[in-house]
Amino acid sequence: MNRLSDSLYSAIYPRLPVTAQNWACTIGGWTRYQQRFTEHFRRTLNAWEESMAWPAERLHELQRTRLDRLVRIARNAVPYYRDLPEPSSKRDPVEAMRELLHQIPPLEKRAYRDQPRAFISRDVPRRRLRSSQTSGTTGTALPLWYSPETLAEEYASVWRMRRRVGVDTDDPQISFNGQIIVPIAQPDPPFWRTNFHTRQTLFSIYHMTPANLRAYIDALHATPARYMQGYPSSMHLVALALLEAGRPLPKGRLAGVFTSSESLLAFQRETIEKAFGAPILDRYGVSEFAVSMTECEAHRLHVDMEYCIVEVETTEETDSYETGPLLITALAHDATPLFRYRIGDVGTRAKHPCPCGRAGDSFFEVDGRIEDYVLTPDGRLVGRMDHVFKDQLEVAEAQILQSDPRAILLLIVPRADYSDASERGVVRQIRSRLGPEIDVRIELVNSIPREPNGKFRAVKSEVGRNAP
């Protein structure tokens, strides 16, 4: 959706009756389904379900072929990468990839932000180019372009993992995601909407007061679903409510729970699995379509080798692991190739093969998606506040600070075109999630300090912390 239809949508949708909102969710769901589950998706999924059993050598051959192809595209058709080195002639695929990649300097987000259009491949016809934005986990949004094939391959990696627990694209499901599907001012249930097309029940993550959560419990028991997906922080709050009420879902009702977008914390996993009676499989992906890691039964995150190359800039190392910032090379991104992109997350890569038997790189953990909740005056805990800045291209960086449930302080690093209108836009977005009562103070600053480990945190709250 472009920005005009986005703002039209947010003006009209909240005024519709619930039935019409359900139909709007259905149309949205139908559109997403058509875009994701294409013929290319089916073909890729089939191929990758097969290659998942390949030995490392064969996966490296495949990576090398895909990397070399992308380098050729980039040299010919991507202005930013005109001077990229040629693919290596070395025979061994691992050595060839290393030789090539080490000649390419890491790509900083800043370099991409300064001239994003220089990354668009002239090979992809304009009509095939889709656009979106990053969700801005570092408090800033970047414009993105991708081809239908990239989106299909992203979802092939998602569904290869999901199908392992026996669910498929047409199964009924429950979701806890960031869209505002229930108007924030709505005081009574239903705090969920239905997409009839794929039998998806979308629960609001913005209405979770202790009183409202009682309605969530009844609705979850009444909703037919085979799996659940969404933000761990939100599912964790609902899981606590289910357990406190002594009403967990019967074991086996759901085949699996799929978390993404935030780091899944250990206490969240335990509570969610207990309350929903199903195992969690976590996935690490980013809105740039540049990386995908999927969890196995042994609780490691396996790099989807067909989809990306992940390098670690090692800062700490033992016999069994190495830890450091990640550099990611997107093998599926033919519209805007990204090589050695410094994504801003830190990972710990295993040095020994995973006991599950799957070959290729695997990680013990990827850190950097931990976000605090904001606590509202009426007692709601709201996560994923970085979405507030998703459409704010005039904001270079932002951070929400909270020391009192009645107020938040917003630090903003403005870009040159920041104006009063930008500020009103930010406040509107904040109010749409946190409600009209909370006091919002804005301070324009030159920079936002990092955490001791160098990580940026979009939300720091002393009262709404990620408390177990």
**CB burial readout 382-400, b (16+ within 10 A) else e:** bbbbbbbbbbbbbbbbbbb
As a whole number of angstroms, the distance between CA 152 and CA 39 comes to 9
Q: Which of 298, 421, 445, 467 binds Zn ion (CB under 5 A)?
A: 298
* Minimum separation from the CB atom of position 260 to Zn ion (A): 18
Using CB under 5 A as the binding criterion, the count of chain residues that bind Zn ion stands at 6
As a whole number of angstroms, the distance between CA 349 and CA 9 comes to 43
* Minimum separation from the CB atom of position 429 to Zn ion (A): 39
Backbone angles phi, psi at 113, to 5 degrees: -65, -35
Q: Which is nearer to Zn ion, 256 or 425 (CB)?
A: 256
Q: Which is nearer to Zn ion, 182 or 303 (CB)?
A: 303
Residue with tokens 């800043």: 110
* Minimum separation from the CB atom of position 300 to Zn ion (A): 4
Beta-strand pair 227-230/173-176: parallel
Q: Which is nearer to Zn ion, 79 or 355 (CB)?
A: 355
Contact range with Zn ion by CB under 5 A, out of 105-113, 203-211, 297-305, 413-421 = 297-305
Q: Give the other-Cβ count within 10 Å of 156's Cβ.
A: 26
Interface with Zn ion in residues 71-100 (CB under 5 A): none
As a whole number of angstroms, the distance between CA 163 and CA 379 comes to 38
Q: Which is nearer to Zn ion, 14 or 353 (CB)?
A: 353
Q: Which is nearer to Zn ion, 173 or 259 (CB)?
A: 259
Backbone angles phi, psi at 273, to 5 degrees: -65, -40
Residue 76 · residue 123 · CB < 8 Å: yes
* Minimum separation from the CB atom of position 353 to Zn ion (A): 8
Q: Which is nearer to Zn ion, 18 or 296 (CB)?
A: 296
As a whole number of angstroms, the distance between CA 261 and CA 273 comes to 18
Q: Which is nearer to Zn ion, 334 or 365 (CB)?
A: 365
Residue 227 · residue 258 · CB < 8 Å: yes
* Minimum separation from the CB atom of position 301 to Zn ion (A): 9
Q: Is 300 an interacting residue with respect to Zn ion (CB under 5 A)?
A: yes
Q: Which is nearer to Zn ion, 20 or 356 (CB)?
A: 356
Q: Is 442 an interacting residue with respect to Zn ion (CB under 5 A)?
A: no
Q: Which amino acid is at 286?
A: V
Residue 161 · residue 348 · CB < 8 Å: no
Q: Which is nearer to Zn ion, 183 or 353 (CB)?
A: 353
* Minimum separation from the CB atom of position 66 to Zn ion (A): 22
Q: Which of 296, 350, 370, 413 binds Zn ion (CB under 5 A)?
A: 296
Q: Which is nearer to Zn ion, 211 or 356 (CB)?
A: 356
As a whole number of angstroms, the distance between CA 307 and CA 284 comes to 13
Beta-strand pair 143-146/173-176: unpaired
* Minimum separation from the CB atom of position 44 to Zn ion (A): 21
Query: Closest by alpha carbon to 380, among 276, 264, 461?
Result: 461
Q: Which two tokens stand for residue 193?
A: 């909407």
* Minimum separation from the CB atom of position 270 to Zn ion (A): 20
Q: Which amino acid is at 98?
A: R
* Minimum separation from the CB atom of position 279 to Zn ion (A): 14
Query: Closest by alpha carbon to 422, among 396, 460, 395?
Result: 395
Contact range with Zn ion by CB under 5 A, out of 116-124, 188-196, 240-248, 298-306 = 298-306
Interface with Zn ion in residues 207-266 (CB under 5 A): none
* Minimum separation from the CB atom of position 446 to Zn ion (A): 45
Interface with Zn ion in residues 340-369 (CB under 5 A): 354, 356, 358
* Minimum separation from the CB atom of position 308 to Zn ion (A): 17
Q: Is 189 exposed, middle or buried (0-12, 13-18, 19+ CB in 10 A)?
A: middle
As a whole number of angstroms, the distance between CA 35 and CA 24 comes to 17
Q: Which is nearer to Zn ion, 240 or 296 (CB)?
A: 296
Query: Three-class SS string for 269-292?
Result: HHHHHHHHCCCEEEEEECCCCCCE
> Residue 289, by phi and psi: left (phi above 0), alpha (psi -120 to 50) or beta?
left
Q: C-alpha angle with apex 267: 328 to 305, nearest 5 degrees?
A: 25
Q: Which residues bind Zn ion (CB under 5 A)?
A: 296, 298, 300, 354, 356, 358
